Amino acid sequence: MLHFSAVLRHRFETILLVSSLILFVTTLLAQDKIVWSDQEKPIVEQLHGLRKLDDTVRARTTRELALQIRQLPVAPNAPPHKLRLAGALAALSTEGDFGKDTLQEVTTTLATALREQPPAGKPGEPDSLYVELASLVRYEQMQATSDNPQFATAMAKLEADDAGTAGWSRSRSTCAPEVSSSECWRRQDCSRAGLQQSPGLNKEDAISGSSSRKTGS
C-alpha cells in the first residue's frame, strides 16, 4: 500500500512537471506580452525557428545564441528578458545531442542570467530555471555554480527525487544516442508514471500555443 501511494505521488508530480514545462515555454517567449528590444528580437526569431534546422546547423546556431544572450546588457530594474531567453534556449537544448561544448555554453549563459536577474521563487521552492540549471549539472555533467540558495535547494530536490525512485533503474539503452540524458530520464519517468508521450506536441508548438501534430514522422 505504501509503495502504491508512492507511485501515485510520483505520477502526480510527473504530470505537474510535464504541464509546467509546456506552460513555461509557452509563456517564456510570448511576444504579444513582451516588448523585445531591437537587440533581442533577432534572438527571439532564431529561437522560434531553432527546431527547423538540421542538427549540424542547430548545434552551431545554439552555441551562437548562447553567446549572444550572454552578451545582452542588463539595466537596473529591467524586465528579465535576458533570463527568459536563456531559459528558453536551455529548454530547447536538451532535445538532442548537439555536443557537450555547445550545451556547456548554454549552461554558462543560463547561470550568468540567473546571477544577473535572479527570480524570486516561492518559499521553500526553487524557481523552475534553477531546477533547469541543476538538471544540466546533475544529469548532463555540465559545469555551473550559483551562490543563490535556490540552486542548492534545486540540487537537493533532484537528489531526493532520484532517491525516491531508486527502485526504478534508469538506463540509456532505451534511448537513441542523439537523445540527451535529461530527456532520456524524463521519458522513462513519464513511462513509469503511465503517461503517454505526445511526439507531435513539441516545444515550438508550445511556444506558439499551437497543438498541431506532425505527420509522416
Q: What is the pLDDT of residues 171-212, one digit of tens each?
A: 555 566 666 666 665 665 555 445 444 333 344 443 433 333
- Choose between 40 and 173: higher pLDDT: 40
Q: What is the pLDDT of residues 93-105, one digit of tens each?
A: 988 899 999 999 9
Nine cell digits for residue 194:
503511465
Domain contains 211: no
- Residue 122 main-chain phi, psi, to 5 deg: -105, 155
Q: What one-character DSSP code corresponds to residue 197?
A: P
* Contact of 67 with 11, CB cutoff 8 Å: no
Number of domains in the chain: 1
Among all chains, which residue has been given the C-alpha cell 510535464?
Answer: 18
Buried b (16+ CB within 10 A) or exposed e, 177-204: eebbbbbbbbebbbeebeeeeeeeebbb
Domain extent for 19: 2-118+126-196
Q: Which residues contact 44 (CB under 8 A, 6 or more apart)?
A: 29, 31, 36, 85
Domain contains 215: no
pTM, entire model: 0.67
Domain contains 206: no
